[in-house]
């Protein structure tokens, strides 16, 4: 059985680098019906204001395995979460929660007081993750996801 990531030393975080693009694109494609393209991810990587953190586990040979990532912007006192995904095979081990907590901590260390995000109304796993962290619904953006005409739920957490 794989270790839960709350085992000591089981998970590390680091900033994404250009050589991580292939793996991040794979995880992105496994996570979304409308995944971010490789170009968009590469552009995001080049934005000084964007933060892309990877969750890493080491295998028996101490090689890095990327388990998931979170993309966030720090705008004034707000951490805005743009994207988060965990590789399919690493889900329900606490990776998503750990990435969110790391994003909050990183923002807080630089003066953030709140975290915000938008999520599809139908995305139960993500909404449950955010609720479990204390996020509350503060609004709805009707038809925000235009391909399906789906609403976005706007959520906020004081960090």
Ligand X SMILES: CC(C)(COP(=O)(O)OP(=O)(O)OC[C@H]1O[C@@H](n2cnc3c(N)ncnc32)[C@H](O)[C@@H]1OP(=O)(O)O)[C@@H](O)C(=O)NCCC(=O)NCCS
Shortest distance in whole angstroms from residue 27 CB to ligand X: 8
Of 123, 145, 154, 156, the one binding ligand X by CB under 6 A: 123
Which residues make Cβ contacts (< 8 Å) with residue 24, sequence separation at least 6? 16, 41, 52, 54, 66, 69
Which residues make Cβ contacts (< 8 Å) with residue 145, sequence separation at least 6? 34, 120, 151, 152
Q: Is 104 in the site for ligand X (CB under 6 A)?
A: no
Q: Is 115 in the site for ligand X (CB under 6 A)?
A: no
Of 16, 85, 112, 153, the one binding ligand X by CB under 6 A: 85
Residue closer to ligand X (CB basis): 34 or 76: 34
Q: Is 159 in the site for ligand X (CB under 6 A)?
A: no
Residue closer to ligand X (CB basis): 132 or 137: 132
What CA–CA distance (Å, rounded) separates 38 from 28?
9
Give the chain's radius of gyration (CA, Å).
15
What CA–CA distance (Å, rounded) separates 100 from 137?
17
Instruction: Note the residues at the interface with ligand X (CB under 6 A).
Output: 31-32, 84-86, 91-97, 119, 123-126, 128-129, 132
């Amino acid at each position: 059985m794989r270790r839960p990531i709350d085992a000591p030393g089981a998970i590390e975080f680091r900033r994404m680098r250009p050589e991580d693009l292939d793996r991040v694109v794979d995880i992105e494609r496994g996570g979304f019906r409308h995944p971010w393209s490789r170009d968009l991810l590469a552009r995001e990587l080049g934005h000084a204001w964007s933060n892309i953190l990877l969750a890493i586990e080491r295998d028996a040979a101490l090689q890095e395995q990327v388990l998931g990532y979170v993309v966030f912007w720090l705008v004034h006192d707000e951490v805005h979460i743009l994207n988060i995904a965990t590789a399919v095979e690493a889900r329900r081990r606490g990776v998503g929660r750990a990435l969110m907590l790391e994003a909050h901590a990183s923002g807080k260390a630089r003066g953030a007081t709140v975290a915000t995000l938008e999520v599809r109304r139908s995305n139960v796993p993500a909404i449950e993750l955010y609720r479990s962290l204390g996020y509350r619904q503060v609004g709805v953006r009707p038809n925000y996801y235009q391909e399906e005409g789906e609403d976005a739920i706007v959520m906020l957490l004081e960090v």
